[in-house]
Chain A
Amino acid sequence: MHMADALVVPIVAGTMYACSTLTAGYSINKIKLSEEARKIPVMGVMGAFVFAAQMINFTIPGTGSSGHLGGAVMLSAILGPYAAFITMIGVLMVQCLLFADGGLLALGCNIWNMAFYGCFISSFLIWKPIMGKGFSKKKIMIASILASIVSLQLGAFSVVLETTASRITELPFVAFVSIMQPIHLAIGLVEGLITALVLIFLYEARPELLWSGKEENTNKTKPGRLSFRKTIAVLVLLTVIIAGVISLFASAFPDGLEWSISKVAGGAELENEGGLHTLLAKLQEKTALFPDYAFRESDAALGTSFSGILGGVVVLLLCILIGRMIKWIRKRRVTPNE
């Protein structure tokens, strides 16, 4: 369910970064105010554990396929929602940076889709109410499966919303939803079952490790080392810079086909007579190798657009050639001929 950068536009990426950042800031504050700061090394180790354990294939009976462990739900059941959320951010960042699983720009979306629902919705709305006064095998089984299904369904639906809002795919919303939701229902069921069996084992072996849903030892008089407001202000400012300023490029021009055609055929810069434009137009008349290429409606427009692509390809090839030359020269310098 990791979203790539290509699936989001800056404004959607920025919005989701802001949402995830605020939730992360709140979670960090909660951890710092309570005694949970001691959990930090556990969070790191558990993050690495979840990452590695997700690579174990579990055979699904009656099918030829296999399933994996659900990370967020399991972390929440052990560390609690706040610490689990921060751990999941760490896991997603490592996945994104090291293995290109999900993009750097789409990280906000991925945190929201895979960590927020799995940590908060499943903890507060499913795990905590079901556990009530105490644990039991049956309760753990129901809570784990339900939490995995609900969090994956919400996550998958968010992917559809974010991709549709970014206008990346022409796939109709209803068709996209009807593809995504059933697939993730099956995945959620399997992940929930695996997570439940692991948590039941933990309950039998070391029940004190499970998160009971009770509030931690919150010492509100003890201030955190890092001010919550300061953290939020810095993170929001960063988000605004990343998303807002960059998205100006997107909002400064009309989108899609209109933008593309106006840019190549009717844009202000291209319409200007004289100067570089006239010079290039004259040169084109003399040197154009592809006069037959044209838009249906406008002869000039496609010629220009095709020229753009042709120009691009030529420049890229030149860059590759220059790069290879530099590499060749560098190699010769390192190992000079005898």
Chain B
Amino acid sequence: MSNRNSVLKEIHQIDDYMQRVTIMTSIHPCAKLLVTVCYLGILVSFPQYDLSGLLAMGIYLIVVYQLGDISIKKTAWGLKEIFLMLLLLGVANLFFDREVLAIWGGIEVTGGMLSFITLYLKGIFALLASYALIATTGIENICYALQVFRLPRIMITVILLIYRYLVMFLKEVERISLAYSMRAPGQKGIHRKAWGSLVGNMLIRSIDRSQTVYESMELRGFGGEFQLKKKENISSSRSFGYAFFASLFLLVFRIFPVFEWIGLLI
């Protein structure tokens, strides 16, 4: 139940972020999508021991989260469950890569330690970057950007329909689960005797509903595709500026060891 609640909470949270007027919400969705994809590509291209290079990628997130007025701490905490998989995979590095690469203040730093930290940082940064994109853009605007990049319209229509019906179905699942749990107090999950009928009934209702929805949409002139429009308060200068400076930053910090130069000065 908590999982369903957290999903609903997350959807409402993103809607709240989208209502805000910030610098990030005034940037064209295409620019944000392109920069995010470039960021992710550059992020994962860092070698597994290049910790200082990877740290530079954190600057982008700090700036974007500030410009978008999003709490980085709250977001990272919300994504904590996903870090478990990274932990499971990364922890193996500690045991299998024991080659000592450095000694920091008397502590031997192994390759496994470095690759574990970089794997974790890559995971966290990638999740935060993707979240920043959706929180400052919204699914409809992302679909608009995908449409501009010529993604097939069938796919865009399917994504939008899933998004629109998701909340409704989640609430329905919540109601069904609540009704079941009230009739079977203390029972964890759904008993095997009800597996087929419980979901099957919901499935049949959903299919019937989709037919009704389709007929209603056709009556209102739906031709198989949603007509998406660009958001009104988009600033072209900000969009170009964001795309230019973000790309420049990513290239400079990927090619040159800027942090090492700064570290040398310290």
Contact = CB atoms under 8 A, between A and B. Distances in A.
Given A38-B214, A44-B160, A105 B40 contact: yes
Nearest to A103: B126
B210 A42 contact: yes
Interface string A6-37: 11111001000000000011001001100001
Given A45-B165, A226-B152, A323-B66, A105 B37 contact: yes
- Chain B's interface size range is 35 or more
A315 B257 CA distance: 13
Contacts of B42: 246, 249
Q: How large is the interface on A (under 10, 10 to 19, 20 to 34, 35 or more residues)?
A: 35 or more
A294 B103 contact: yes
A332 interface: no
A147 interface: no
B170 A52 contact: yes
A293 B58 CA distance: 25
Interface string A296-327: 10000010111111111111100110010011
Contact of A308 (B112, B197, B198, B260): B260
Interface stretch (A114-122, A125-133, A214-222, A257-265): A257-265
A201 B66 CA distance: 52
Contacts of B206: 45-46, 49
Prevailing SS type, chain B contact patch? helix
Nearest to B63: A319
Interface in B127-170: 127, 130-131, 133-134, 139, 142, 149-155, 157-166, 168-170
Interface in A151-174: 163, 167-172
Contacts, number: 387
A4 B45 contact: no
B264 interface: yes
Given A249-B254, A311-B52, A163 B260 contact: no
A268 interface: no
A58 B195 contact: yes
B170 A55 contact: yes
Nearest to B202: A53
A273 interface: no
Contacts of B130: 5, 96-97, 100, 103-104
A313 B187 CA distance: 50
A290 B38 CA distance: 35
Interface SS of A by simple majority? helix
B52 A308 contact: yes
A255 B47 contact: yes
B44 A40 contact: no
A4 B86 contact: yes
B162 A47 contact: yes
B126 A44 contact: no
Nearest to A41: B214
Given A246-B45, A315-B259, A53 B119 contact: no
Nearest to A301: B102
Interface string A43-67: 1111111011101111101001010
Given A6-B44, A46-B210, A57-B190, 14 more contacts: A7-B89, A24-B152, A44-B162, A90-B158, A90-B161, A94-B163, A104-B126, A201-B201, A257-B111, A287-B266, A293-B104, A309-B51, A314-B262, A316-B58
9 contacts: A5-B44, A6-B126, A40-B157, A100-B130, A256-B49, A257-B49, A280-B264, A293-B102, A306-B104
Interface of A: 4-10, 13, 24-25, 28, 31-32, 37-38, 40-49, 51-53, 55-59, 61, 64, 66, 69, 78, 86-87, 89-91, 93-94, 96-101, 103-105, 163, 167-172, 193-194, 197-198, 200-202, 205-206, 209, 226, 231, 234-235, 238, 242-243, 246-247, 249-250, 253, 255-257, 259-260, 263-264, 269, 276, 280-281, 283-284, 287, 289-290, 292-296, 302, 304-316, 319-320, 323, 326-327
Interface of B: 3-4, 7, 10-11, 14, 36-38, 40-45, 47-53, 55-56, 58-59, 62-63, 65-66, 69, 79, 82, 85-86, 89-90, 92-93, 95-97, 99-105, 111-112, 115, 119-120, 122-123, 126-127, 130-131, 133-134, 139, 142, 149-155, 157-166, 168-170, 172-173, 176-177, 187-192, 195-204, 206-207, 209-211, 213-214, 217, 224, 254, 256-266
